[in-house]
Amino acid sequence: MSAGAHGIEDKAHFRGVWVFLELRKGGLRDVSVQLIGEARRIADRRGAPLTGVLPGHGVEGLARDAIGYGLDRVLVVDDPALATYRSRPFTKVMATLIRRHKPEIVFFGASKNGRDLGGRLHAVLETGLAADCVKFDLDADGNLDMIRPSFGGKSLAHILCKRHRPQMASVRRNVFVAPRHDPARRGEVLREAVEIAESDVDATLVEFHEFTKEGGAKPDDAPVVVSGGHGLGGPEPFGMLQELADLLGGAVAASRKAVDSGWVPKVLQVGQTGMTVRPKLYVAVGISGAVQHLAGMQESGKILVVNVDPKAPMFELADYGIVGDLFAVVPEMIRQLRTAKGLTGREAPLAAAP
């Protein structure tokens, strides 16, 4: 439990890069796959093997398949109690394996479960964990340089964990691009024994209601995101944004102000306390551009800004901008896009009424 057990004196014994592989509906969560690519790069620079860690039940086939993304080996811990993610058993598995094999670096996806696990685990191991990293490097001494946005994404903080091992970091989804899968890649799948006692299973999942996909594409997967903010003034204008998003083949999202006002659900929030998106085109409608919002969308390919206030900070990020009343501009965009698609028939554009 003590820092000393993992710290200063035996730092040199820690070797290898690990990725925690998170399950999702019988497959791997996409952020885990994305991480394998970046972890491969770091492992190669350290001249160290890359290991995936997969706690679950009946997951050996999945482990073998995961090798194809660039892993050298996968440690599988198989137990019926690991079929569903639970904080305590997963923390026990990771802590036990880390103490047993002493990896130098451990990566986690910054999913809800990844953060739940990482937060508990780093306190139990008493080692450093940097959240939501966007970039990794190595310093002159071979320490992992864990680079994360600090407040609002306007600056990048370089986090080092010099004396404690392993160095641990989490990464949000869509920060790294998933590596190509090579079915011919060879690697080892090793079964590891970690005893899960009945007392370790201290939480019961009594109900689960899956989110349905109704309402079209999800903003964090869509090539175009049409996002609405304070300027919309209420929930109704989001209907017009949805129409614009449909015409552009995209999804609707929102700023924190629109969410806080109760106009749209929190799952649509882009920004520091919401999701990170990097679509090909981000359309910001009536969003002033608080730094927390920019943190969630500034990596977008192109940014189109519609705002009545020419001084809105959002315009500083604009590839394209229209200073004007969104209630005139957006219906006009809908009208012209419909015309271009030959949709001018009897269906009058919903939002074009004066």
Partner 1 sequence: MCIKQVPKAEELQVDPKTQTLKRVGVPSEINPPDANALEIALQLKDRHGSEVVVLSMGPTSFDESLERSIGMGADRAVLLTDRILGGSDTVPTAYALSETIAKIGGYDLILCGEETTDASTGHVGPGIAGHLDIPQVTYASEVRVADGRIRARRTAEDGTEWWEVRMPCLVTVNFGCNGPRQPTLSGKIRVKRGGVIAHWSCADVGIDPKKVGLLNSPTIVAKVDTVRLPPRAGKFFAGEPADAVRRLLEALRADGVLR
Contacts of 96 (CB under 8 A, 6+ apart): 194
For residue 340 the two structure tokens come to: 């271009």
Verify binding: residue 130, partner 1, rule CB under 8 A. Answer: yes
Among candidates 335, 328, 48, which has minimal Cα distance to 167? 48
Q: Token pair 């004396």 is at which residue?
A: 163
Contacts of 162 (CB under 8 A, 6+ apart): 141, 143
In the complex with partner 1, the residue whose CB is nearer, 13 or 162, is 162
Verify binding: residue 312, partner 1, rule CB under 8 A. Answer: no
Q: Are 95 and 5 in contact (CB under 8 A)?
A: no
Cα 354–chain centre separation = 41
Number of Cβ within 10 Å of residue 141's Cβ equals: 7
**Distance (Å) of CA 316 to CA 294, 300, 304, 310:** 11, 14, 11, 10
**Distance (Å) of CA 254 to CA 19, 270, 301:** 32, 6, 18
In the complex with partner 1, the residue whose CB is nearer, 186 or 214, is 214
Contacting partner 1 (CB under 8 A), which of 11, 192, 298, 308?
Answer: 298
Verify binding: residue 242, partner 1, rule CB under 8 A. Answer: no
Closest contact distance (angstroms) between CB of 300 and partner 1 is 10
Total residues binding partner 1 (CB under 8 A): 91
Q: Are 175 and 276 in contact (CB under 8 A)?
A: yes
In the complex with partner 1, the residue whose CB is nearer, 182 or 309, is 309
Strands 135-138 and 17-20 turn out to be unpaired
Verify binding: residue 202, partner 1, rule CB under 8 A. Answer: yes
What CA–CA distance (Å, rounded) separates 203 from 199? 10
Closest contact distance (angstroms) between CB of 116 and partner 1 is 4
In the complex with partner 1, the residue whose CB is nearer, 99 or 302, is 302
Contacting partner 1 (CB under 8 A), which of 8, 138, 273, 309?
Answer: 273
- Residues 168-197 within binding reach of partner 1 (CB under 8 A): none
Verify binding: residue 96, partner 1, rule CB under 8 A. Answer: no
Verify binding: residue 159, partner 1, rule CB under 8 A. Answer: yes
Verify binding: residue 280, partner 1, rule CB under 8 A. Answer: yes
Contacting partner 1 (CB under 8 A), which of 162, 182, 239, 344?
Answer: 162
Verify binding: residue 62, partner 1, rule CB under 8 A. Answer: no
- Residues 65-94 within binding reach of partner 1 (CB under 8 A): 87-88, 91
